[in-house]
Amino acid sequence: MRPLWFLLQKEFRQIFRDKGFIGRLFIAPAIQLILLPMAANFTIKNINIAIVDHDHSTVSQELADKIKSSGYFKLTGYTDFNSKADKLIENDKADIVLEIPDGFAQDLIKEGSKKVAIEVNAINGVKASVGFGYLSGIMTDYNNQIRMEMVEPTPLPAQPDIEVVPSFWYNPTLTYYIFMVPAILVSLVTGIAGLSAAFNIVKEKEIGTIEQINVTPIKKWQFILGKLLPFVVMGAVVFSFGLLIAFVGYGIAPIGNLITMYTFLLVFLFAILGFGLLISTYTETQQQANSLMFLFMMVFNMMSGLYTPIDSMPQWAKIITHLFPVSYFIDVMRMVVIKGSGFADIRFHILYVFIIGLVLNTWAILNYRKTT
Amino acid sequence: METVIKANKLTKRFGDFVAVDEITFDVYKGEIFGFLGANGAGKTTAMRMLCGLSTPTSGEATVAGFDVFTQPEEIKKNIGYMSQKFSLYEDLSVLENIEFYGGIYGLSRSEIREKNKELISKLGLEKEANNLVRSLPLGWKQKLSFLVAIVHQPKIVFLDEPTGGVDPYMRREFWDLIYDAADKGITIFVTTHYLDEAEYCNRVTIMVDGKIEALDSPGGLRQKFGVASMDEVFYKLARQAKRSAD
């Protein structure tokens, strides 16, 4: 056991001596948790709209005003030429063009119906579909309004109205950051703990000290434990600091139990540090480790349900996400923080991540050789 | 004489390349055994096999009575090693380095405290004891590396070009430390390409293209080749080399 204590003592000395690392430990979470949730916001505002008004009537004016006042749209062009509006789309000045035909108001009154055309710039698919949805909503609303105003009131409504009253569970105000902050925290812990552990070991390879260690009788498990334990501590520190930011900055207080969260954190760190260790056994320089880690972090961030729901991925992709400890942790964080889930709810998450960790660590230990 | 290293047709191949080609030799307890050769002759590879860092392809060898194939971890308990690359932690102080290596070799805290005092006074580093190793001049670092490599009183210490890049005065001081250790019964296995240092060894082998071409005392070698200095012995042998230097 004694060599392990000396190794731990040495690791902590080196960590605390590396001022840059300590800085990253606190600055990275602060920056990411404050900036990223704002950027990763799917509520779309400022959709640029251009209106081609061939009608020039009070009715068309009213419609335009209604769109402008909705808060979602920014009027970037008001013209009576289709070609001008098309130019705006081409130049990326307009996301949506609404074309109000000539005689819109008259026909509406006379015939009770009139078509308008909507053209959508669909390069950004999300913006396009959301923008179209908003605009359709406004149009329907306006439609109902003029029906009320112009059509003689009938004793019974011509069409039965079904009104939908939504009730959003767990996040009633649909606040985006309640959903994002816990997940970004997971991504942070992954980055800081997994990456640093891999770098730390590869650095010893680079400067040659690992050879000096390999020529001592230290046991493989002692060396590995001595390397990974400090990053369990660092991971827990970053996680706690992140929770604090979430509370102070966003008022997010986990509904669930902190013990549940930290228990899962430990299991998660076991797995992700095993992953870092594994990377370090396959790389010789920090650059190699960095590029490999970058690749995996990218995949983790895109596929683990951080930004897009795993449920909407194709089946094969879903299977892959089940191999990432990160996906489980993001899920657990959202469950515990937003829903207040307890041990019983996440027991399979714990089990699976533990198994993944066992596989990764065994693989890494087998692949780490004191004698080549 | 007691044999502490025994190598018999020890060979290491990397694919088609034969880095070390059937080398056979014995090293006796307490001697300073020099390993000479041009860059790329296979000195380091041979040494790494004996240290249990690299498994030989074929042949046999025992170090301190343990087999290099089956008992590398036992060997590691009995040897010290100073690699070609500087291997102390630059971001730890002199004392912290001694403490760390002493600790992973299983020394107790009180043994480490004694070692600290002993090594610091031997090196005359009283003022620098708490400075980071980074701030020491190379010669001092190498001397410290050597003392750290024998902090656990090993039976054998392997030194891989320990004085590379060190000035002549410091090299002299380094060799004083080596003699000191040899006097205490530690067998010294040292590679070098400073030929004056070869003269300091009890026996010298000269490796050319992975093979041992000569093995004798420096005096014996000079006589055998009919030359006045080790330099000439080396040039005569090294000229035969076909392998290009690294």
Query: Dmax of chain A from CA atoms?
Result: 96
Range of the domain at A183: 2-40+175-367
**pLDDT tens digit sequence for B173-228:** 899 999 999 998 899 999 987 888 888 899 999 888 888 888 888 888 888 888 88
The Cβ-side half-sphere exposure at A124, using a 13 Å CA radius, reads 14
Give the pLDDT confidence score for residue A55 in this predicted structure.
84
Listing DSSP states for B43-57 in one string gives HHHHHHHHTTSS--S
Contact B91 A18 (CB under 8 A): yes
| Residue A163 within any structural domain of the chain | no
Query: Are A180 and A322 found together in one domain?
Result: yes
pLDDT at A41: 65
Residue B185, CA atoms < 13 Å, CB-side half-sphere:
6
- pLDDT band for position B84 (50/70/90)? confident
Q: Please name the member of B53, B79, B90 whose beta carbon is closest to the beta carbon of A214.
A: B53
Domain end point (choices A117, A150, A183): A150
Residues A130 and A230 in one domain: no
As a whole-number percent, the residues of chain B with pLDDT over 70 amount to 98
* Inter-chain CB proximity B103 and A17 less than 8 Å: no
Residues A289 and A183 in one domain: yes
A235 and A315 both lie in a single domain: yes
A135 and A193 part of one domain: no
Q: Is residue A295 located within the same domain as residue A315?
A: yes
What pLDDT does residue B187 have?
Answer: 93
Contact A217 B77 (CB under 8 A): yes
Q: Does some domain include residue A326? A: yes
- Is residue A316 classed as helix, strand or coil in its secondary structure? helix
Pairing state between β B187-192 and B156-160? parallel
Chain A partners of B101 at a C-beta cutoff of 8 Å? 212, 216
Q: In Å, how far is A215's CA from the nearest CA of chain B?
A: 6
Give the list of residues 6+ apart from residue B75 with CB closer than 8 angstroms, or none: B50, B51, B52, B63, B64, B66, B68
The average pLDDT across B157-164 equals 89
Task: Give the CA count within 13 Å in the CB-facing half-sphere of B97.
Answer: 30
B52 at the A interface (CB within 8 A)? yes
Domains delineated in chain B: 3-92+154-238 (3.40.50.300)
Is A88 in the same domain as A28?
no
Mean pLDDT of B135-163: 90
Residues 89-148, chain B, touching A (beta carbon < 8 A): 89-92, 96, 99-106, 108
The C-alpha R_g of chain B, in whole angstroms, comes to: 18
Look at residues A109, A134, A150 and tell me which one is the last residue of a structural domain. Answer: A150
Q: Where are the beta strands (DSSP E) in A224-334?
A: none
Q: Residue B32: its pLDDT value, please?
A: 93
Distance from CA of A31 to the nearest CA of B (A): 28
How many domains does one find in chain A?
A: 2
A227 and A359 housed in the same domain: yes
- Domain presence at residue A257: yes
B-interface mutation test, from A10, A21, A213, A285, most B Cβ less than 10 A away: A10
For residue A158, being part of any structural domain is answered with no
For A195-208, the pLDDT digits (tens) are 888 999 999 999 88
CB A232 within 8 Å of CB A269: yes
For testing contact with chain B, the best of A14, A22, A215 (most B CBs within 10 A): A215
Q: What is the ipTM of this complex?
A: 0.86
* Nearest CA distance, A228 vs chain B (angstrom): 17
Residues in chain B with CB shorter than 8 Å from the CB of A215 are 51-53, 76, 79, 81, 83
- Report how many Cβ contacts below 8 Å link chain A to chain B: 82
Residue of chain A nearest B68, judged by CA positions: A371
* Closest residue by Cα to residue A280 from A227, A214, A238, A324: A227
Per-residue pLDDT of chain A (372 residues; tens, 9 = 90+): 788 999 999 999 998 888 888 888 888 888 888 887 777 666 677 788 888 888 888 888 888 888 888 888 888 888 888 888 888 888 888 888 888 888 887 777 777 777 888 888 888 777 788 888 888 888 888 877 777 776 655 555 555 566 677 777 777 666 777 888 888 899 889 988 888 889 999 999 998 898 889 999 888 888 999 999 999 999 999 999 999 998 988 888 888 889 999 999 999 999 999 999 999 999 999 999 999 988 998 888 888 888 788 888 888 988 888 899 999 999 999 889 888 888 888 899 999 999 999 999 999 999 888 777
Within a domain: A218: yes
Whether the CB-CB separation of A78 and A65 falls below 8 Å is answered with: no
Give me the residue from B83, B92, B104 closest to A13, CB to CB.
B92
Give the residue from A105, A135, A150 where a domain finishes: A150
User: Which residues, 6 or more positions from B113, have their beta carbon under 8 angstroms from its beta carbon?
Assistant: none
B189 at the A interface (CB within 8 A)? Answer: no
N- to C-terminal Cα separation, chain A: 25
A29 in the same domain as A71 = no
> What contacts A139, CB < 8 A, 6 or more positions away?
A63, A116
Residue of A nearest to B84 (CA): A208
Q: Collect contacts of A140-147 with beta carbons under 8 A, ≥24 apart.
A: A141/A66, A142/A62, A142/A63, A142/A66, A146/A59, A146/A108
* Domain assignment present for A59: yes
**pLDDT for position A153:** 58
CB contact (8 A) between residue A14 and residue B92 = yes
- Whether A321 and A206 map to the same domain: the answer is yes
Domain annotation covers residue A189: yes
Which CATH number does the domain housing residue A78 bear? 3.40.1710.10
Could you tell me if A205 and A289 lie in one domain?
yes
In a domain, A156, yes or no: no
A251, A280: one domain: yes
Instruction: For residue A10, give the nearest of B77, B86, B100 by CB distance.
Output: B100
Report phi then psi at B179, rounded to 5. -60, -40
